[in-house]
């Protein structure tokens, strides 16, 4: 990272201060987050690592406006997410965030193109569905239904769907979790391309430490807290990732 400016000097996109999240299931209280302070910067690729139940997904969901913290503050640029209501959060997700999940969550009754169009239709300044699908290397599978695509292809449609609206952030929760190494690489390539070419701030959760080498920063979670943050001197490309 010699040629780029120090990260702290880029504008902060997400900013969390002292956020906690407590789930109550029956009589048990689960402290999913215990005071997390974190900044994510414009254009960076951050990988969130940590064991199951360490709070990564909870944080990602809060950042994406799917969930609200029990206490603490979350801001996205000038938006105070932690104090927003349901309607505002829906609009936030609609226009500014792209999601990719482990299970692709495509609409089975829509083709690849239409799954992407589903999002471009309601976005303000989207790219075309073809463009988004080309970016993830699926220009030849536009009119296939999910049932006709492989797992990796389905996940790449999900990525195309996430980025077609030109989101300001891309949030990926174990995007390769259900894929083998070879198809996983293709998916990571797609995410890498989006991050580099479009400059979309990207946060990616994984269990796989190898993937961490693609990141600008690696944020380690443990027991609902950030344990440490590593800054990578150099980012390896997706092709170099292998597991």
Partner 1 sequence: MTALISPLTKKLARDLWRIKSQGLAIALVIGCGVATVVMAFGTLVSLQETRETYYERFRFAHVFAQLKRAPERLADDIERIPGVARVATRIVKDVTLDVPGIPEPSVGRLVSIPERGEPMLNHMTLREGRWVLPDRTDEVIVSQKSADAHGYQLGDPIGATINGKKRTLTIVGIAQSPEFIYALGPGQFIPDDKTFGIMWMGREALEAAFDLKESFNDVSISLMRGANEKDVIDRVDILIEPFGGTGAFGREDHMSDAFVRGEMDQLRAMGSILPPIFLGVAAFLLHVVIGRLIHTEREQIGLLKAFGYANWHVGWHYLKFVLVLSAGGVLIGIGLGWWMGRWMTGQYSELLNFPFLHYRLELSVFALAVVVTVGTVTVGTLRTVMSAVRLPPAVAMSPAPPPVYHKSLLERWGLQRYLTEPTRIIMRNIFRWPVRTGLTCLGLAASSSLMVATMFGLDALDQMMDVYYFQSNRQDATISFVDTRSDNVLQDVMRLPGVMAAEPMRNVPVRLRLGHLSELVSITGIPQDAKLYQLLDINLRHVDVVPEGLIISTRLAENLGAKPGDIVTAEVKEGRQPTLQLPVAVVVEEYIGASAYMSLDALNRAMGERRSANTAIVLLDDTQLPALYDEIKNTPMVASIFLRSTALRSFNETIAENTTQALGFYIFLGSMIAFGIVYNSARIALSERGRELASLRVLGFTRGEVSYILLGELVLLMTVSLPLGCVLGYGLAAIMAEGLQTDLYRIPLVVSRSTYGTAMLVVICATAVSCLIVGRRIKNLDLISVLKTRE
Instruction: Give the binding site for partner 1 (CB under 8 A).
Output: 57, 61, 64, 66-67, 87, 90-95, 97, 99, 101-103, 105-110, 114, 117-119, 121-122, 145-148, 161, 173, 178
Which residue, 122 or 231, has its beta carbon nearer to partner 1?
Answer: 122
Which residue, 92 or 220, has its beta carbon nearer to partner 1?
Answer: 92
Which residue, 120 or 216, has its beta carbon nearer to partner 1?
Answer: 120
Tell me how far, at minimum, the Cβ of 34 lies from partner 1, in Å: 19
Number of neighbouring beta carbons within 10 Å of residue 146? 19
Determine the Cα–Cα distance for residues 90 and 155; give it in Å rounded to an integer.
23
Which residue, 49 or 205, has its beta carbon nearer to partner 1?
Answer: 205
Tell me how far, at minimum, the Cβ of 74 lies from partner 1, in Å: 16
Tell me how far, at minimum, the Cβ of 236 lies from partner 1, in Å: 29
Tell me how far, at minimum, the Cβ of 213 lies from partner 1, in Å: 26
Q: Are 224 and 34 in contact (CB under 8 A)?
A: yes
Determine the Cα–Cα distance for residues 56 and 203; give it in Å rounded to an integer.
10
Tell me how far, at minimum, the Cβ of 111 lies from partner 1, in Å: 8
Determine the Cα–Cα distance for residues 68 and 85; give it in Å rounded to an integer.
9
Any idea of the CA torsion for 55, 188, 1, 216, to the nearest 10 degrees? -10
In angstroms, the Cα distances linking 176 to 2, 85, 124, 190, 211 are 29, 32, 29, 12, 10
Nearest Cα to Cα of residue 179 among 101, 64, 98: 101
Determine the Cα–Cα distance for residues 23 and 37; give it in Å rounded to an integer.
19
Which residue, 84 or 118, has its beta carbon nearer to partner 1?
Answer: 118
231-237 own/partner pairs: CB under 8 Å, 24+ apart: 231/1, 231/7, 232/1, 233/1, 233/2, 234/1, 235/1, 235/45, 237/189, 237/192
Which residue, 106 or 238, has its beta carbon nearer to partner 1?
Answer: 106
Tell me how far, at minimum, the Cβ of 131 lies from partner 1, in Å: 17
Which residue, 55 or 64, has its beta carbon nearer to partner 1?
Answer: 64
Tell me how far, at minimum, the Cβ of 87 lies from partner 1, in Å: 8
């Amino acid at each position: 990272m010699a040629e780029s400016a120090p990260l702290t000097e880029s504008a902060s996109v997400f900013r969390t201060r002292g956020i906690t999240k407590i789930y109550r299931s029956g009589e048990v209280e689960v402290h999913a987050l215990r005071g997390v302070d974190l900044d994510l910067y414009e254009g960076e690729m951050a990988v969130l690592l940590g064991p199951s139940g360490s709070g990564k997904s909870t944080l990602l969901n809060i950042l994406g406006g799917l969930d609200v913290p029990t206490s603490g503050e979350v801001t996205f640029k000038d938006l105070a997410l932690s104090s927003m209501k349901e309607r505002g959060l829906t609009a936030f997700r609609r226009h500014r965030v792209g999601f990719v999940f482990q299970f692709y969550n495509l609409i089975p009754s829509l083709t690849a193109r239409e799954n992407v169009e589903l999002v471009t239709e309601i976005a303000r300044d989207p790219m075309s569905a073809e463009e988004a699908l080309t970016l993830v290397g699926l220009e030849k599978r536009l009119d296939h239904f999910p049932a006709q695509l492989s797992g990796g292809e389905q996940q790449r449609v999900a990525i195309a769907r996430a980025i077609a609206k030109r989101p300001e952030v891309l949030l990926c929760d174990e995007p390769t979790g259900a894929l083998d190494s070879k198809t996983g690489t293709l998916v990571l390539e797609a995410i890498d391309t989006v991050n580099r070419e479009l400059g979309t701030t990207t946060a990616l959760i994984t269990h796989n430490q190898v993937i961490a080498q693609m990141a600008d920063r690696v944020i380690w979670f443990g027991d609902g807290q950030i344990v440490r943050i590593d800054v990578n001197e150099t980012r390896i490309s997706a092709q170099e990732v292998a597991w």
